[in-house]
Amino acid sequence: MNYNETGIHSLQEGKYEEAIAAFTKAIEEEPDNPLGYINFGHVLAATGDTERAERFFQKALTLDGDSATACYGLANLYFNEDRYEEALKLYEKALQLGIEGPDAHFMLGKSFERLQNPRLALPYYQRAVELDGEDAEARMGYGITLATLEYFEAAEPEFRKVLELDPDHADAHYNLGILYAVSTDDTESALYHLKQAFTLNEGHDQARDVYDMILQRLN
């Protein structure tokens, strides 16, 4: 029996106790195989036991310092704990070790964003979008970063693409509204998108506040 496969299946179904039992068996069967420790780290992270999860990811890295999946798992753990600088180093290492797909690029962009360094975030968001053009959140990150750097003409189509993918994306409407308000004279479009934002999300107070401010300025 492949206990790692059994545990992953249980983890995907949210059966955490069964997953833990399977990964425990995997580690007992192959104590020098980092995969069991990585998988155990994932289930511990999913259940909120971050201290133990960190130890299991670190154990995997002591067994295989070039494990991209262990680096990525530990990086996600650190990111969720607001330990962005530590997360950055591990995301970068995971990329260097050949981890595939757009997610690591996206998370590097988010880490630089959280560290208030949009210029360094930009190329990673851009690469994430290049690798998966249908990822609305990657496009949001890319668009927001472009707008933060005042590349408004480049940001606009990114927000519009998000709305093509998800017409009810309140934050995309909000950011388009702000973009029109600060970089154009198109007040009508600014008001439209801001209203869409707080209509779709009644708790979007920022959109409502900016909308009201623009109306007061017009009156």
Cβ neighbours, 10 Å, residue 31: 11
Give the model confidence (pLDDT) of 71-80 as tens digits.
999 999 999 9
CATH class of 1-100: mainly alpha
Average of pLDDT values for 153-172?
97
The Cα–Cα gap between 57 and 170 comes to: 37
Read off the pTM: 0.90
Q: What percent of the chain has pLDDT over 70?
A: 100
9-23, 27-41, 175-189: least confidently modelled range? 9-23
Domain boundary assignment for the chain: 1-100, 168-219
Predicted confidence band of residue 1 (pLDDT cuts 50, 70, 90): low
> Are the CB atoms for 182 and 206 separated by under 8 Å?
no
User: Mean pLDDT for the chain?
Assistant: 94
